[in-house]
Amino acid sequence: MTKKILVTGGAGFLGSHLCERLVNAGEDVLCVDNFFTGSKANIAHLLNKPNFELMRHDVTFPLYVEVDQIYNLACPASPIHYQHDPVQTTKTSVHGAINMLGLAKRLKARILQASTSEVYGDPEVHPQPESYWGKVNPIGIRSCYDEGKRCAETLFFDYHRQHELEIKVVRIFNTYGPKMHPNDGRVVSNFIVQALKGQDITIYGDGSQTRSFCYVDDLIEAMVRMMNADKEFTGPVNIGNPNEFTMLELASHIIELTHSGSKIIHLPLPQDDPKQRKPNIELAKSALNWEPKTQLDEGLKSTIEYFKNYGI
Ligand code: NAD
Ligand code: UDP
């Protein structure tokens, strides 16, 4: 039977891919977004579909709609965006979670939270399993995002314990792909745009810090599997690609794939920038029968194509 599904943050990078996936599966999708970092262009191709609806709304305010499932993605994800108005970032994570959990409680709807590897902070355990509690600075410039997302997880588990709400929590590691905003400041989009424009590639610090990059299609597959998994399986579950790269390695791959003449330059490392990050995905493999399929070069090629077509 067709389900009514709410996607908050549905006009953003991940949200727009999720909406497309659900619309194509025949579900009835309600996309809610305040367009802080998302855009109508990301979902323009869905607007004429009878099973897609767009609503401008800020999740820090209550929402009254009728749905069967909720994917809660609303929150800026790139450091420059979430640090632009840090108070609003915490409000979006915390008040947004309270409002969406309240909605789910009234409707007895299942709700999935897009949490993040940032809950592990600058991790001392490597790779990071879900059982690791993290090393997070509570008062730094990344804290509005990290602590906001940690508090949202707390709220999800308290609604689950206190109100028997059906919750699903996924901890998303760095994800990239088409529809990333060219100016959103995240490393993959920055390096590709710089390489295509022949500008200097800006590595922050010495470039030895690591990240593990997941292609968007793999991530969306895992999210949908998690939403529809057994009721008892709440997570948190790590979703990411465990192949780990230094930022220097990433820059070289992108220069090679774009045949760019760009030079690498080094800029200061931002405060509290995590030194390493790599998911342990054993739980996702066993509980969701999922693992990422797209390797970095293949994913980068389609992302580069997207930015070329975007006019970069
Ligand atoms: P994004 O910035 O492209 O999308 C976020 C969307 O939320 C945007 O459309 C934005 O306009 C909307 N939004 C922000 N504040 C809102 C509010 N108060 N009310 C309604 N809408 C609001 O980021 P993304 O990469 O698509 O991330 C989506 C979710 O996944 C976020 O919750 C993010 O924390 C999480 N996540 C993403 C990554 C990643 O690598 N992309 C990693 C970890 C977690
Ligand atoms: N980074 C970089 N150059 C850039 C943008 C980012 O070297 O132009 C680095 C950043 O310092 C971090 C890594 O790339 O170590 C990933 O940054 P991003 O903002 O994409 O994600 P996050 O730090 O949240 O994982």
From the DSSP assignment, how many helices (H) and strands (E) are in the chain? Answer: 10, 13
pLDDT in tens, the chain (312 residues): 899 999 999 999 999 999 999 999 999 999 999 999 999 999 999 999 999 999 999 999 999 999 999 999 999 999 999 999 999 999 999 999 999 999 999 999 999 999 999 999 999 999 999 999 999 999 999 999 999 999 999 999 999 999 999 999 999 999 999 999 999 899 999 999 999 999 999 999 999 999 999 999 999 999 999 999 999 999 999 999 999 999 999 999 999 999 999 999 999 999 999 999 999 999 999 999 999 999 999 999 999 999 999 888
pLDDT of residue 312: 80
The pLDDT assigned to 146 comes to 98
Coil/strand/helix, residue 143: helix
Residue 169 host element (H or E) = strand 167-172
Closest CA to 6 of 49, 46, 54, 44: 54
The active-site residue, picked from 71, 82, 120, 145, is 145
DSSP state of 253: H
What CA–CA distance (Å, rounded) separates 250 from 211?
9
Question: pTM value?
Answer: 0.98
Mutate to test the pocket of ligand 1, among 75, 100, 156, 226 (most ligand atoms within 8 A of CB): 75
Atom 13 of ligand 1, nearest CA residue: 74
Q: Which ligand is nearest to the CA of 251?
A: 2
- Report the nearest atom of ligand 2 relative to the CA of 186: 20
Q: Which of 79, 84, 72, 80 is nearest to 12 (CA)?
A: 72
CATH numbers and ranges of domains, the chain: 4-177+214-242+277-293 (3.40.50.720)
Q: Which two tokens stand for residue 281?
A: 């995905």
Predicted local distance difference test score (pLDDT) of residue 311: 80
Active site residue 145: yes
| Amino acid in position 73 | L
H-run or E-run covering 289: none
Cα separation of 197 and 14, whole Å? 25
